[in-house]
Each structure stands twice: as C-alpha cells, then as structure tokens.
C-alpha cells in the first residue's frame, strides 16, 4: 500500500477513537446514577433554578447572577409562590440595598456574607407603581431602600414573612454551593 493511503487510514482511525471518547465523556458529564440528566433546571423567566435549604426547608430559587437579572429581580410578579424565591449572586462583597422597583407584592430579603451567614433580614413592602405621568427618575427617588446591616455577597428573596416563620435570623448560616453560584456569574 502506498504511504499516503496508510497515513489516511491511521488518521481516520484516530479521528474515530477521539470522537468516541469525546461522545462517551459528554454523556457521562450529563448523566448521573441511572442515566438521569444533570441539566440545569430553568424557571419560566429563563433563569436557572437551584434548591437551597433554609432552616430545614427546601426552596427552589431562581439565580440572578448578571446585571439584567439582578435589576429585574422578582419585579412585575403578582406573587412569590410558597417554596420559591430568588438568590442574587454578586461578584464581590459590598454594602447592598434593595428596593421594590416594579414589585407587585411584599417580600422578604436576607442579605448573606461570603460564607452564607445572614447579615440582616428585611420585609420589603410593595409600593404604588410608577404613575403614567411620573418620570422614571421621580419614581426611583420615591422608592424606599432596604439596606443590609453589613457587606454581603448574596441576597435571597422569599415570600413575605417566610424568614420569620422559619425562625431564621441574623447570624444563622445558610449552606450554599459557592462554586456553583460563582459559575453563574457572567
């Protein structure tokens, strides 16, 4: 056989092996025990959902990890269903303050430090929406701000009164998969 034909066959065989290995590795990465897929769950908003246990109760939290999703938050929603909420993930620890921009329902917010320790908890009240004749600046200037008592890296919003029902308080720690939440930052 000519050398070029032999070389072509070797290249073809190597490409087949590499393709098989890549396919096998990709199927292992998306399958757990029993072949179940580890695909990211998504909310109707398109945001990823992660389950977080707070004071022994599981919550499915939408992950807001970029400027657009953090700005939108839970705004324009008529309610925050039981067992759900949102976790806001930030690049660096800083003093935080939330407001109820375009929010139609009351909600709780807990600010957490880089270790998941609750810094402070607030119950935020829905405010009248922006009037048709009101400028965005005028609307923003009248909204109450709910500042954290210290620096935070995360904030969790839940239905109103939920943190009180759970007995959660500043100083308590919420176990978070920091590497996973950091991976959502964009």
Q: What's the pLDDT tens digit per position in 63-77?
A: 999 999 999 999 999
As a whole number of angstroms, the distance between CA 117 and CA 171 comes to 6
pLDDT of 176 reads: 97
Please compute Rg for the chain using Cα positions: 23
85: helix, coil or strand? strand
Same-domain pairing of 91 and 7: no
CA angle 66, 70, 72 (to 5 degrees): 120
Same-domain pairing of 76 and 137: yes
Termini Cα distance of the chain: 54
80: helix, coil or strand? coil
Same-domain pairing of 112 and 25: no
Same-domain pairing of 112 and 79: yes
Tens of pLDDT along 16-66? 433 333 333 333 344 444 445 568 899 999 999 999 999 999 999 999 999
Q: Please indicate whether residue 34 or residue 151 has the higher confidence score (pLDDT).
A: 151
Same-domain pairing of 59 and 145: yes
Q: Band of the pLDDT at 148, cuts 50, 70, 90? A: very high
Same-domain pairing of 74 and 94: yes
Which of 5-19, 80-94, 108-122, 170-184 is predicted with the least confidence, judged by mean pLDDT? Answer: 5-19
Same-domain pairing of 15 and 55: no
Q: Please indicate whether residue 21 or residue 105 has the higher confidence score (pLDDT).
A: 105
Same-domain pairing of 113 and 47: yes
pLDDT of 39 reads: 84
Q: Residue 151: give its domain's CATH number.
A: 2.60.120.1140
Does 185 score more than 60 pLDDT?
yes
Same-domain pairing of 22 and 60: no
The residue behind tokens 């308080």 is: 169
Q: Band of the pLDDT at 184, cuts 50, 70, 90? A: very high
User: What's the whole-number average pLDDT of the chain?
Assistant: 85
Residue numbers of the domain that contains 104: 41-183
Same-domain pairing of 25 and 67: no
Tens of pLDDT along 79-98? 999 999 999 999 999 999 99
Our count of domains for the chain comes to: 2
Same-domain pairing of 51 and 88: yes
pLDDT of 186 reads: 72
Burial class (CB in 10 A: 0-12, 13-18, 19+), 80: buried
Same-domain pairing of 99 and 9: no
């Amino acid at each position: 056989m000519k050398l070029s034909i032999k070389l072509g066959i070797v290249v073809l065989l190597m490409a087949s092996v590499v393709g098989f290995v890549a396919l096998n590795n990709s199927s292992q990465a998306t399958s757990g025990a029993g072949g179940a897929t580890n695909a990211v769950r998504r909310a109707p908003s398109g945001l990823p959902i992660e389950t977080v246990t707070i004071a022994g109760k599981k919550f499915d939290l939408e992950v807001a990890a970029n400027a657009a999703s953090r700005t939108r938050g839970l705004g324009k929603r008529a309610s925050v269903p039981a067992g759900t909420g949102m976790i806001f993930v930030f690049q660096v620890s800083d003093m935080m303050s939330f407001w109820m921009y375009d929010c139609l329902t009351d909600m709780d917010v807990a600010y957490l430090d880089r270790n998941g320790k609750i810094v402070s908890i607030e119950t935020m009240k829905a405010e009248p929406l922006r009037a048709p004749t009101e400028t965005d600046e005028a609307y923003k200037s009248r909204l109450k701000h709910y500042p954290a008592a210290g620096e935070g890296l995360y904030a969790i919003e839940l239905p109103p009164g939920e943190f009180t029902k759970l007995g959660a308080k500043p100083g308590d720690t919420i176990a978070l998969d920091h590497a996973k939440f950091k991976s959502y930052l964009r």
